[in-house]
């Protein structure tokens, strides 16, 4: 089948004919019908700050139909509509048995692994030479092989061209607000960073019934679009000569009730924590920091009863919870269309990378 292969870091993807091997033990082969582009794909394709692994097939936000299943797969069958997901749920480890965690020991995201867990081998090849996987999904291919624990079976009536975005960024932001920050109706929420994940966090605050949703971003152009996602006010830290946490505290009579940080900037993480109200404020960190970053805040900020939390994939268990997020869309509680800015044919996938690199999508 056709796949978009990254031969060299930062160079345009090349459409190639690839062979996709049958699924092995606990694996399924999926016909990918729609795939979307997430900034994480771009980050690893650029290979800035990590050792590139190549040639590789990127992609981890997608929707498709199960084509065949390997040995031991009992919960999925050919014809099922599914979302492959970059992290998994084995169902057996302590994390999977815990109601509080979604960080499966076996299938937690591993961006350095180029093969499948079962045997370490790749299921993709060109003329017998392996093409590496990307976090067990590799959705920039007409067919892909995924561990069954990384596959969420969804409502077959859900339009795959819309719900494909549920498999990464949207769920990460939405769950950070709904599952972790948990704002009460009428409370105020600050969202740091208004990219796709931040807008999904704002959507979560809107669904929760927040009275004020304050967007914080260094790019003032993002505010108009953010209004569609429920953002009511906007703060650009560059417009103020005092720390943004002070600006937010003054706007909200002592601090916001909840904050969600979606930038990866350690500075924004500190600001998001210090801008919540003492006594009950909760800040949730979503963004991935640089490896040498250190979080620094005075211990009194904790002793004054502010809470700092982190989240991975919005605290959703892929197989158990993601079908329910799709149902939220089917029940018209969640709007997905507004997250999709461009639609391009698979053969022109490099255009999608251009849109993202230019900040147009």
pLDDT truncated to tens, each residue of the chain (361 aa)? 999 999 999 999 999 999 999 999 999 999 999 999 988 899 889 987 677 788 999 999 999 999 999 999 999 999 999 999 999 999 999 999 999 999 999 999 998 899 999 999 999 999 999 999 999 999 999 999 999 999 999 999 999 999 999 999 999 999 999 999 999 999 999 999 999 999 999 999 999 999 999 999 999 999 999 999 999 999 999 999 999 999 999 999 999 999 999 999 999 999 999 999 999 999 999 998 888 899 999 999 999 999 999 999 999 999 999 999 999 999 999 999 999 999 999 999 999 999 999 988 8
Q: How far apart are CA 244 and CA 242, in angstroms?
A: 6
| Number of domains composing the chain | 2
Assess whether 40 and 26 both reside in one domain. yes
Given this model, what pLDDT does residue 53 score? 86
Q: What is the CA radius of gyration of the chain?
A: 21
Q: How far apart are CA 330 and CA 360, in angstroms?
A: 28
Assess whether 153 and 277 both reside in one domain. no
> Do 176 and 284 meet the contact criterion of CB atoms below 8 Å apart?
yes
Assess whether 19 and 145 both reside in one domain. yes
Q: What is the CATH number of the domain that holds 162?
A: 3.90.180.10
Assess whether 305 and 228 both reside in one domain. yes
Q: How far apart are CA 114 and CA 75, in angstroms?
A: 25
Q: Is 260 helix (H, G, I), strand (E, B) or coil?
A: strand
Q: Is 257 helix (H, G, I), strand (E, B) or coil?
A: coil
Given this model, what pLDDT does residue 291 score? 83
Assess whether 325 and 270 both reside in one domain. no
Q: What is the CATH number of the domain that holds 236?
A: 3.40.50.720
Assess whether 285 and 222 both reside in one domain. yes
Host domain of residue 309? 170-313
Q: Measured in whole angstroms, how far is the alpha carbon of residue 78 from the centre of its chain?
A: 26
Assess whether 159 and 23 both reside in one domain. yes
Assess whether 90 and 182 both reside in one domain. no
Assess whether 94 and 183 both reside in one domain. no
Assess whether 131 and 179 both reside in one domain. no
Q: How far apart are CA 104 and CA 150, in angstroms?
A: 10
Assess whether 138 and 228 both reside in one domain. no
pTM given for the model: 0.94
Assess whether 217 and 246 both reside in one domain. yes
User: Positive or negative CA dihedral for 79, 323, 59, 120?
Assistant: negative
Given this model, what pLDDT does residue 49 score? 64
DSSP for 308-349, written as a single string: EEE-SGGG--HHHHHHHHHHHHHTTSS--GGG------GGGH
């Amino acid at each position: 089948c056709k796949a978009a292969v990254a031969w060299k870091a930062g160079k345009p993807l090349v459409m190639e004919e690839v062979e996709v091997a049958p699924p092995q033990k606990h694996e399924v082969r999926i016909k990918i019908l729609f795939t979307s582009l997430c900034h994480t794909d771009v980050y690893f394709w650029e290979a800035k700050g990590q050792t590139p692994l190549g040639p590789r097939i990127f992609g981890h936000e997608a929707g498709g139909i199960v084509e065949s299943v390997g040995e031991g797969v009992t919960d999925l069958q050919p014809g099922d509509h599914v979302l492959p997901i970059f992290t998994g749920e084995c169902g057996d480890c302590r994390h999977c048995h815990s109601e509080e965690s979604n960080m499966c020991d076996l299938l937690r995201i591993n961006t350095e692994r180029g093969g499948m867990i079962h045997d370490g081998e790749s299921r993709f090849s060109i003329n017998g030479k392996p093409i590496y996987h990307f976090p067990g999904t590799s959705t920039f291919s007409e067919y892909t092989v995924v561990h069954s624990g990384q596959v969420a079976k969804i409502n077959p009536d859900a339009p795959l061209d819309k719900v494909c975005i549920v498999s990464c960024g949207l769920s990460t932001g939405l769950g950070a607000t709904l599952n972790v920050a948990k704002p009460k109706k009428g409370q105020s929420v600050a969202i740091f960073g208004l990219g796709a994940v931040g807008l999904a966090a704002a959507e979560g605050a809107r669904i929760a019934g927040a009275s004020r949703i304050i967007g914080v971003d260094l790019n003032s152009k993002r505010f108009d679009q953010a209004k569609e996602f429920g953002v009511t006010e906007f703060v650009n830290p560059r417009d103020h000569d005092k720390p943004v946490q002070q600006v937010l505290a003054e706007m909200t009579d002592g601090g916001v009730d909840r904050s969600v940080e979606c930038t990866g900037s350690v500075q924004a993480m500190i600001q998001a924590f210090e801008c919540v109200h003492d006594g009950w404020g909760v800040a949730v960190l979503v963004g991935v920091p640089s490896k040498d970053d250190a979080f620094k805040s005075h211990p009194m900020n904790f002793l004054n009863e502010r809470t700092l939390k982190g989240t991975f994939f919005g605290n959703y268990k892929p197989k158990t919870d993601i079908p329910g997020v799709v149902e939220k869309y089917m029940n018209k509680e969640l709007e997905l269309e507004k997250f999709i800015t461009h639609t391009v044919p698979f053969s022109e996938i490099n255009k999608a990378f251009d849109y993202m690199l230019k900040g147009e999508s």
